[in-house]
Amino acid sequence: MLKKINDFIKDYSILIGIGLLFIVCAIPLVFFLFYLRGKNKTIKIIPKFEVIDIVDSSDTDLTVLEDAVEIGKDVLKKVKEVKQ
């Protein structure tokens, strides 16, 4: 009986510890994001980690978006051709 109680406490204490560790790691990131939003900035992770200005649109690479739209149009065109 005591072994079952001990195992039960051990299992749940591990889960609670993992949850607390996640919260401790996530809270500073959330505060950092709010701090950056207050300064009109955000984090860009892909293709490299950097802090960019939200207001200034020159930080965004529009050629990537344009290429993605063109690829999407090509795929749609091929699907329509196959469907007919």
C-alpha span between 79 and 71 (Å, rounded): 12
Same-domain status, 44 and 74: yes
C-alpha span between 70 and 73 (Å, rounded): 5
Segment 56-82, tens digit of pLDDT: 655 556 777 788 899 999 999 999 888
- Indicate the number of domains in the chain: 2
Same-domain status, 32 and 46: no
Same-domain status, 46 and 68: yes
Segment 8-18, tens digit of pLDDT: 888 899 999 99
Domain residues for the domain of 53 are 40-84
C-alpha span between 51 and 5 (Å, rounded): 49
Q: Is the predicted pLDDT of residue 38 greater than 90, yes or no?
A: no
pLDDT band, residue 6 (cuts 50/70/90): confident
- What are the C-alpha distances in Å from 45 to residues 2, 9, 42, 74? 49, 39, 10, 28
Same-domain status, 33 and 44: no
Same-domain status, 23 and 48: no
C-alpha span between 57 and 47 (Å, rounded): 17
Residues paired with residue 42 on neighbouring β-strands, in sequence order:
52
C-alpha span between 12 and 73 (Å, rounded): 52
Same-domain status, 33 and 48: no
